[in-house]
Amino acid sequence: MPSSTLEYVDMVARTPLSQILIFSASLTAVRIVSHFVTAKTPRHKQGFGVKILTGVSDLFDSLIYAAVFIFMVIRPYFFQTFQIPTGSLNPTLKVGDFIGLNKAIYRYSEPKRGDIVVFHPPAYACTPDQLRPGTNDPKVDFVKRLVGLPGDLLEMKNGVVYVNGKLLWEPYWHFSEQVSQGDFRLFTQAETAAYEKQSWKLVNYKGKLIPLNYTAHDANSVSPHMENFGRQPYYVADPFVIRDPVEASSPEVRNLPAQKIPEGKFLFIGDNRNNSFDGRAWGLIDRDSIIGRAEFVWLPFNRFGGIRYFNNDSPKAPEAIVAEGMR
């Protein structure tokens, strides 16, 4: 299917409710006018033109009911489509994939670790073109994997996630390099081992709970120290950048104790760890900002299928999968 067609499908699926109301009201007005015209025309005088008008009126009726049912009942409360905009979850979800989003599941259950979730991002996680003109209101939604739950003491040490002191089984994460638009090459085991990996934790910094990204050299620095590969080991959203280079490189900052994720907050991270701007950079997401869980890919057709989930907290999860940040 051509890219332009996929973009059109996504545009229709995300049509604002205000436009749906205008669309329905316009069709209703035409429907009312056509009813009066056909009702005043005796049956024996109803020619081809009246029959056409009646057919159009019936079609508009169907469109009105469909618009109300789909966009005012199904989309807000049960199901919505969403197009994957970035490679942060590659190869589980690839750029351009259309997913089916379950919006009802979190109405009767809590999000689980490992879920792939669509949510409203904070404004400081967005680029200027992702905000509505003249406002700090994001016009986009993000999709990442849920890694940290309320009450978790979560730390990332040399690229490996630990929850409450125990290694978290994550068979889906990897490092990669982008070779073309939306296409990534996964690193080999040797490349992954050689890549300088960030560490991460929530800390109380000057009275505020912030995400702290750090290596042996610095923490939340404007210009993180780069080892091999010539790439930054981490990224930080603007509100959490430590602009004083002396303070950013201070061991005291890196040694701040980790804090638990507060109630009602969640941490989302991408699977494509070195190609994902996520909660490590811009922090936690409120429960009210969560929209729904990704259930399946429905376009393109050659990727049609359900999304596989893992029980990260299973006692049978093999800790040998990850050792000292290596696969």
Burial track 112-130 (b if 16+ CB lie within 10 A, e otherwise): bbbbbbbbbbbeebbeeee
The closest of 34, 156, 15 to 75, measured between CA atoms, is 15
Q: Which among 34, 103, 144, 221 is annotated as catalytic?
A: 144
**Bridge partners (DSSP) listed for residue 184:** 178
CA distances from 178 to 58, 127, 185 (A): 51, 20, 6
If we measure between CA atoms, which residue out of 153, 279, 169, 147 comes closest to residue 213? 279
144 is catalytic: yes
Q: Residue 308: left (phi > 0), alpha (psi -120 to 50), or beta?
A: beta
**What is the dihedral sign for C-alpha 157, 320, 276, 194?**
positive
Q: Is 51 a residue of the active site?
A: no
**Rounded CA gap, 15 and 29, in Å?**
21
**All residues at 6 or more sequence positions from 246 whose CB lies less than 8 Å from its CB, including other chains:** none
Q: Which is catalytic among the residues 24, 34, 57, 88?
A: 88
Closest C-alpha among 165, 174, 116, 161 to residue 310: 116
Which residues are the active-site residues?
88, 144
